Amino acid sequence: MYNLVGHTCLGVREETMRTNQTLEVIKHRRSIRSFQPEQITEPQLQALMEAAMAAPSALNQQKWHFTVVGDRALIDLMVDIVKENMAKLGHESFTKRASDPAYHTFYHAPTVIMISGDEKAMFTQVDCGAAAENIVIAAQALDLGSCIMTSPGLLFMSEKGNELRGRLGIPVGYNHVCTVAVGRRRGDSPPMPPRNKDVVTYVR
């Protein structure tokens, strides 16, 4: 709909696009991997969850479930199990990461939002991805740091991890799709990692 490269289109002036706050928030969001220990506020959390549930879903099915974990001990327990499971994968880089005491899957974020989708519904991965993106954009708008991640899915590779499903309130028949770590960022946002430019075909 918008041509961000420079032309005026659909009656939206070029200048307006350059200063559009939503577009600025989208452009400035980065994956944050260092957080301050303080918890985010309840209004901030509720704003993030409202944004999550405002996401589009196929046929408006909303076959997603959100588990908000703010209990540091539980977060650390999940990290221990993820690392145990990571070590079992037999891949050199994973083995190295799993044995690194500094590696924390959620980067010590005070809040972890796990998103699961109904395994029987179609397109739930897309739906959950849209919800995750809404969360990270909302977080950026609130000046919070965030990181979408799939590695927490390793939690459910072992019996020990699956035993936590009940405690995490993951409905029966739902599987982890991705997790968003959220908190106040420690330090500045990193620069945007390079983007491939040759990934668009314009047919007009």
Binding site for ligand FMN (CB under 6 A): 30-31, 33, 147-151, 178, 192-193
Cβ atoms within 10 Å, residue 137: 17
Shortest distance, position 137 Cβ to ligand FMN, whole Å: 11
For the chain, the distance separating the N- and C-terminal CA atoms, rounded to the nearest angstrom, is 13
Q: Which amino acid is at 93?
A: S
Token reading at 160: 């020990």
Distance CA 38, CA 12 (A): 41
The answer to whether residues 188 and 45 touch, using CB atoms and an 8 Å cutoff, is no
Shortest distance, position 189 Cβ to ligand FMN, whole Å: 8
Shortest distance, position 107 Cβ to ligand FMN, whole Å: 7
Q: Which is nearer to ligand FMN, 47 or 130 (CB)?
A: 130
Q: Which is nearer to ligand FMN, 62 or 151 (CB)?
A: 151
Q: Which is nearer to ligand FMN, 93 or 202 (CB)?
A: 93
Overall size of the chain counted in residues = 204
Q: Which is nearer to ligand FMN, 40 or 129 (CB)?
A: 129
Q: Which is nearer to ligand FMN, 114 or 149 (CB)?
A: 149
Element (H, E) at 117: strand 111-118
Burial pattern 24-63, b for ≥16 Cβ within 10 A else e, equals ebeeebbbbbebeeeebeeebbebbbebbeebebeeeebb
Shortest distance, position 9 Cβ to ligand FMN, whole Å: 26
Shortest distance, position 136 Cβ to ligand FMN, whole Å: 8
Distance CA 156, CA 169 (A): 14
Shortest distance, position 169 Cβ to ligand FMN, whole Å: 22
Q: Which is nearer to ligand FMN, 25 or 148 (CB)?
A: 148
Distance CA 157, CA 85 (A): 6
